[in-house]
A and B are shown apart, each in its own frame.
Chain A
Amino acid sequence: MDTSSFSYLESRKLVKRWSGPIPALINTFLILAFFYLTWWIFQDPRGLMRMYTPYVGYMVCRWMLIIFIWLAYIFDFWPFKRTWLNKTHPLIKGAVLTIVSVAAMILLIKGFFVEILGNFGIAYFNPDRLIAMGITDFYSIEYAAEAIMMFAAIASWLSPSWVVACENAPWQKIGQPARGITIVLVTFFFSMVVYFVTMHSHMAILFYPWQKFTAICPPYWEQFANTVSGNFHIAWIMCCTVVVWQFETIWERYPFNLIKHDTLRRVASFFGIIIIALALCFFLFYAQDLVWGQTIRGTRRLMAPDWRWLHVGEMAIFWLVPTLYLNFYCGNWPTKFSRPVNVCIRTIVTALLAVVVYVIYYKTSHLFLGTQKGFSHPQQFPMIPMIWLINIFLMNVWFMDGWPGWKAVPKTEEELAEVHEEIVASDVKWTPGIAKGLVIGLLVGLALYTAVIYLLPWIGANFTIIK
């Protein structure tokens, strides 16, 4: 079979170098060590480069993420040749691909956003212009970084959505780099539109007086979200980002992959992700109200609606970490049951693990990340270390074939054939048994939700994560 019709990530199979849990343990250890080393060098407020100012570091980690996605998922590693990818040592591949990504990131941030947009379109993308208008150097850079960062947040939902939900349509048949360029341009365009209707107003009210002639102020979401802050959008957009990857990894694109009609499946997947993300977003907001009490508009931090929306996005990212870990390093455990059962178990397991990561993070991170204890430090974003860690996962699995615990081997023809079959699943068919199960399952799911919302106020009253 012609392997060129498969992406590099589809064409390879990662096999463990050693049996048992050793590969996962070794990789976890190396990843955490590398995380801490790079954290110290680049981000830590006590370390060398101290990019955690916070917005500069925030922008960098988000842009790294989106460039990794573009390189691996959308450009299928173009301009690197398949033979190079197959033959080069993972360490060299990892280094080269990361350096190329960083160069692309600098080019985009400095070249496109600061120099082109910031000089010929929108002043707030260019710190020098803000400085010239009397804003301090520090906040000029922070504001510009915030705007550029938000752009990446939106793209980190839309770009993978095009691959995962829309299956690259309608350009799935054209070769690289034409396909990559097309999809990047299209998702970049949509990101731009979403940016204008979600974050431009947020940026416009940073300046005095509100920039009413260029942006809608007060923004249209004020009444619904109980804040004029764009954090409301960060909430649902981050949930979208997380749900895309859940859909791709632990859900194996179930249940929308049961739809046989191509267009219908793609549209259902794309909007299904958004609807699921909105559900998650509203729940995470309500959950905080149950634990900490209702928000007070105009206050700061823990009780402020804008912070609570931000924290929705942060909690979602806490779910992404175990999701990717389970998929990358635990062989997408469990795999022995039917797909719906596997998906259900993985969803519950990763949600519980997310709670564990969350608790560990808030209990211990101030001891080693150079941050302070507390939930709502206005200059601390747990998304920075979490995305930094996720970036390292991606470097390890996408760029380095899971080295050293795993190595890439080409898939056999049969395995490749399965990849194509995978697009439409046939393992679940409509029967009376399924229908009965579905109804009972829905009721149990609703009961589970009800139990959780009754449990949360009790947890809020009886447990303190941070003393």
Chain B
Amino acid sequence: MSNDTKNVSRRDFVKGAATGLVAGAFAGMGMYSYSPWAYERLPKTERKMHDFGTCRSVRVTNISETSWFNNAHLIGDIHEAGGLLVNQYTLNWAPFANGKGSAQGSYDDGISSIKDLLPHDIEKAWEIQKKLALHPENPGGYSCLIEVEELDGTMHKYLLDTGWSYKWMNDCFKREGIDQMLRDQEIEALFISHEHWDHFWGLPVTMKYDNRIPLYVHDGFYDEGLQYIKDSGYKGELTIANKPVTPIIPGMALLKFDVPIINRVFGETSLAFNIKDKGLVLISGCCHQGILKFADFAYANLKYDNDKFYGIYGGLHISPFEDWDPKYDDLVISLGQWGFERIGCNHCTGHLTAKKFIESGYPVVRGTARFRSASKDYLGNGDKITFGC
């Protein structure tokens, strides 16, 4: 063979090889990637089975689940400011309002108008802010009291979240006797699930009655949020949760999820309980991580009785603004497979979601629709739910 033909055939070989390489890679992608064989080779989840102890029972008192009273006003304000990515501290809602209108608010302006009054005169502080804020009558708040009974009968009380409106939360605290419990330092800790207005901005209300209560927040809190803790008059020991699992007492742990959330908030912490002979109970603020992510994380990491998902309480953040997306139907369709026996949902779960859960035959615990809660489809303000005996 002459050198020339050798060169030509080598050049042809390279052309063929270059074409084949790209074609072969795409062929592999197309024929194998989404096939059953591709999934057979994936490893099964290794469960860590972290033993965080056992408790006898958990009782939740819904102090308030009505975070706001008029959905159109709330979402209208967000809309006017530029949508779901706008920083919540600039929306010009109390207590960080400055009277300059939509999207012109700032933490510094807002707090400077009321700082001297926190936390001893929250009534006056809220009155001042109401004059500056958009839709000042709209805020409510989310907060619940959690009473945990240890195996030996010892009782522990905790607060999850502290609501939004100073006035509304103060009234709700009084209605459920939380003010006195705080004064008596009966409540062992306040867990802030996440930095959102309706869970966190009512902080001075708790501080008014007990400003040394141990406080837990997610490590994704922004500077404004951390400053607000100081400006609210907090004098106690702040724990910034920075581990996936933080044990609290036997059978109770704080779980941390790193998720970006609407209106510039990052991360949520939720509570998990292992109830003797029953199984796992999950309690959340908004559950922005998603209830099944929450459950799946517990499945992969924790050990609990009967290896069973037992109950849920809290906002499940599905259709908080009565909006909808087909992915929420994915949850409605698949939640049944997880086998929860008691579903106590409210707040940002959305009425439509509760309705669809009930239509699907899920064990949703109904409420009484008192104290401005809008529907008996779910646990309303003042309602209680018990997990375990």
Contacts and interface: CB of A to CB of B under 8 A. Distances in A.
Interface of A: 45-46, 50, 52-54, 56, 135-139, 141-142, 202, 205-208, 218, 227-231, 254-255, 275-276, 278-280, 282-283, 285-287, 289-290, 293-294, 296-307, 338-341, 343-345, 347, 370-374, 376-380, 428, 431-450, 453
Interface string B248-269: 0000000000111110101000
Interface in B184-227: none
Given A227-B330, A300-B290, A372-B266, 20 more contacts: A136-B323, A137-B75, A138-B75, A206-B326, A279-B26, A297-B334, A298-B331, A299-B291, A300-B293, A303-B290, A341-B15, A376-B260, A428-B19, A433-B8, A434-B15, A437-B14, A439-B16, A441-B17, A446-B25, A449-B25
Interface in B261-294: 261-262, 264, 266, 288-293
A45 B85 contact: yes
Contact of A448 (B25, B45, B85): B25
B49 interface: no
Contact of B16 (A208, A287, A302, A435): A435
B292 A298 contact: yes
B86 A139 contact: no
Interface secondary structure of A, over-half rule: helix
A434 to B, nearest CB: 4
Contact of B262 (A136, A230, A379): A379
- 8 closest residue pairs by CB, A with B: A441-B20, A445-B24, A437-B16, A50-B82, A279-B30, A53-B83, A449-B28, A433-B12
A45 B24 contact: no
Given A50-B83, A137-B72, A372-B266, A340 B15 contact: yes
Q: How large is the interface on B (under 10, 10 to 19, 20 to 34, 35 or more residues)?
A: 35 or more
A414 B27 CA distance: 38
A275 B27 CA distance: 10
B322 interface: yes
A205 B29 contact: no
Contact of B289 (A136, A231, A300, A444): A300
A446 B32 CA distance: 10
A344 to B, nearest CB: 4
Interface secondary structure of B, over-half rule: helix
19 contacts: A50-B86, A53-B83, A138-B76, A278-B30, A282-B33, A298-B335, A300-B293, A341-B15, A341-B18, A376-B259, A379-B85, A428-B15, A434-B15, A438-B20, A442-B24, A444-B20, A445-B23, A449-B25, A449-B28
Contact of A206 (B9, B19, B24, B324): B324
Contact of A433 (B10, B84, B321, B334): B10
A339 B45 CA distance: 46
A338 B19 CA distance: 11
Given A54-B85, A229-B330, A306-B330, A136 B13 contact: no
Contacts of B9: 431-433
Nearest to B296: A296
B355 to A, nearest CB: 8
B325 interface: yes
Nearest to A443: B24
A45 B330 contact: no
Contacts of B260: 372-374, 376-377, 380
A374 B24 contact: no
A463 B79 CA distance: 37
Contacts of A141: 79
B71 interface: yes
A297 B328 CA distance: 10
Contact of B330 (A305, A345, A380, A450): A305
Given A46-B86, A439-B20, A228 B293 contact: no
B17 A444 contact: yes
Contacts of A205: 324, 326, 329
Contacts of B87: 45-46
A376 B261 CA distance: 9
B352 interface: yes
A285 B33 CA distance: 8
B326 A299 contact: no
Contacts of B289: 300-301
Contacts of A138: 75-76, 78-79, 83, 321
A227 B327 contact: yes
Given A304-B330, A343-B22, A299 B292 contact: yes
Contacts of A207: 324
